[in-house]
Amino acid sequence: MLDRDAHVGVVSEPRRVEVEKGFLKFFAKATGETDPVYFDEEAARAAGHPAIPMPETYLFSLAMSAPAKRGDIFDKANGLGVDMARVLHGEQRFAYHRRIYAGDTLTLTTTTSDIYSKKGGALQFVVQDTEARNGAGELCAEMRMVTVVRNG
């Protein structure tokens, strides 16, 4: 069982991540993307973008690529230490404020906002909110991830 008091309110250190063009192309391939704007720089420019735009769900991947030293869901020493074999993805939310492109550098900060139980503690739900800011400190995107932990 996760100890609510130990984890709720924990804020990660800010993590600087680059939106890598090569990874966006790989993501497009892996998701069967058909719009060339997401894998062809020339098509992106022709459509008026400064570079390949980051697709809608990729903020989740950026966060996974840069696990927090403090408050990470799987980290046993400084995070929640959840066993990978016991997780399910419960919910996912995204909100967008500014478009993000390949080559941008973002700062991610993740807060463990809530932990709640269902079925007498057999299931625990971990709510983590991540925000992404650009170099000017402007909020570009936000996401909420709810992870289900099977304690049974």
Partner 1 sequence: MVEDETLPELVRGPVTRGMLALFAGASHDHVLLHIDSDFARSAGMDDVFAHGMLSMAWLAQALRSWVPAERIRNWNVRFTAITPLHATVHCRGHVAELFEEDGERRARLKIGAWTGQDIQTLDGEAVVTIG
Q: How far is CA 107 from CA 55, 104, 145, in A?
A: 17, 10, 17
On whether the CB atoms of residues 28 and 121 are closer than 8 A, the answer is no
Least distance from partner 1 to the Cβ atom of residue 5, Å: 27
- Candidates 4, 43, 90, 129; binder of partner 1 (CB under 8 A) is 90
Element (H, E) at 95: strand 87-96
Degrees, nearest 5: CA angle 20-92-21 = 10
- Candidates 6, 45, 50, 56; binder of partner 1 (CB under 8 A) is 56
Contact letters (x/-) for partner 1, 100-139, by CB under 8 A? ----------------------------------------
Residues 21-40 that bind partner 1 (CB under 8 A): 23, 26-27, 29-35
Q: In which residue are the tokens 């022709």 written?
A: 46
Given the complex with partner 1, which of 6 and 50 has the nearer CB atom? 50
Helix (H, G, I), strand (E, B) or coil at 41: helix
84 binds partner 1 (CB under 8 A): yes
Residues 64-83 that bind partner 1 (CB under 8 A): 64-65
CB atoms within 10 A of CB 45: 13
User: 139 in the Ramachandran plot: left (φ > 0), alpha (ψ -120 to 50) or beta?
Assistant: beta
Given the complex with partner 1, which of 5 and 59 has the nearer CB atom? 59
- Candidates 8, 55, 109, 134; binder of partner 1 (CB under 8 A) is 55
Structure letter (DSSP) for residue 98: S
Least distance from partner 1 to the Cβ atom of residue 109, Å: 18
Site residues (vs partner 1, CB under 8 A): 23, 26-27, 29-35, 53, 55-58, 60-62, 64-65, 84-96, 99, 144
